[in-house]
Amino acid sequence: MMPKPDDPVELTRDVKQEARRLGFSLTGVCPAVRPEGLDEFYDWIAAGYAGQMHYLANRAEAYAHPDAVLDGARSLVMLGMQYSNQVATEPGAAAGRVARYAWGTIDYHDLIHRRLKQLKSYLADRAPTAKVRGVVDTAPLLEREFAQLAGLGWIGKNTLLLNRTAGSWFFLAALVTDLVLEYDQSHEADHCGSCRACLDACPTDAFPKPYVLDATRCISYLTIELKESMPVELREPIGDWVFGCDVCQDVCPWNRRPPDTLEAELQPVDQLNPLDLPALFAMDDDGFRRQFRKTPLWRSRRRGVLRNAAVALGNRRSSPGLAALCRGINDEEPMVRAACAWSLGRYSEPVAREMLVARRKIESDVHVISEIDLALGSGGAS
């Protein structure tokens, strides 16, 4: 016999069970309330730590309550989906690192939206008059705050949600509904203790203090969100990261033995662990689209990924890297040419200077010109 739609205990239990069947290994339920960390979020935006993520400030008021996501919201089913934690392959001199979450054959948004749609349908069948909306990343919702309220874990010093079993290698999503469900106990304990591993390991010093991230210095922001050239002083610390960064998660003690994902589409593929950087410079837009359209790398588009690749090749100098940069200095995208100019300036081979001088004679973009002039005056190609 099916339970009545208004039985919150049984309905909550069954929704959690269905969520786990759909691949969400972490499930918890909390009330739709004003998030506890809202004031800190507003202070974070005011401090300028959001950088070019202007959409956060533009809809800041919407974060005050989940009813901005769903009118009449009363409950949130908070969900976590594990992604692979297999050991990263050490990249060669002409290869780049990609964050673990992007190693698979699909953009996780597409996978999770598909599963949320199934979970939404399940709940709609059980409670036909209910309003339900599934969200992942894009809605004005402080997911980590609500995940903690739903008992999934605590927010660590690196600002990521940490779970004692799963570490931080999981995606967060939410099902927002106007139903009253049975709520889990909030996770009040902070198990970071005196550990500073994540703070001390960050290559770009992106944490001004524990529990606060300056996104404008974060490698993930710099390689994904930033839509212009990287700040000069942060290019070398980025090292060989081309898309995202895992450093603060790699060093976290809670990430030592998390379970791997069972999702086939999130399993790592060799082409992304690590990424062949010179091959990127041989791709036009159509070729890049064919290879990466369904992966997270598409978010940065070709020009963003090639900018990142150029910086990485400047940091890890090699013959294949030099050849790729000599090609990239004449790319159609000014941002790519600018990054290649900086990197060529770090090579001592005569051909690097020759390519810079040749490009300088025909370059019309003022930013690229300034990067070429900087490179010609630097130690490597001067």
DSSP string, 132-161: EEEESSSSS--HHHHHHHTTS-EE-TTSSE
Task: List pLDDT tens digits, range 231-261.
Answer: 999 999 999 999 999 999 999 999 988 888 9
Q: What is the pTM of this model?
A: 0.94
Cis peptide bond prior to 31, omega within 30° of 0? no
pLDDT of residue 4: 52
Which residues are catalytically annotated?
A: 137
Share of the chain above pLDDT 90, in %: 91
Assign 27 to helix, strand or coil: strand
Q: How far apart are CA 255 and CA 251, in angstroms?
A: 8
> Which of 46, 41, 42, 15 is CA-nearest to residue 28?
15
pLDDT of residue 124: 95
pLDDT of residue 258: 81
pLDDT at 214 over 50: yes
Q: Cα 333 from chain centroid?
A: 24
What domains can you pick out in the chain, each with its CATH number?
8-84+101-177 (no CATH), 276-382 (1.25.10.10)
Q: How far apart are CA 91 and CA 134, in angstroms?
A: 37
Contact between 281 and 327 (Cβ < 8 Å) = yes
Q: How far apart are CA 26 and CA 16, in angstroms?
A: 9
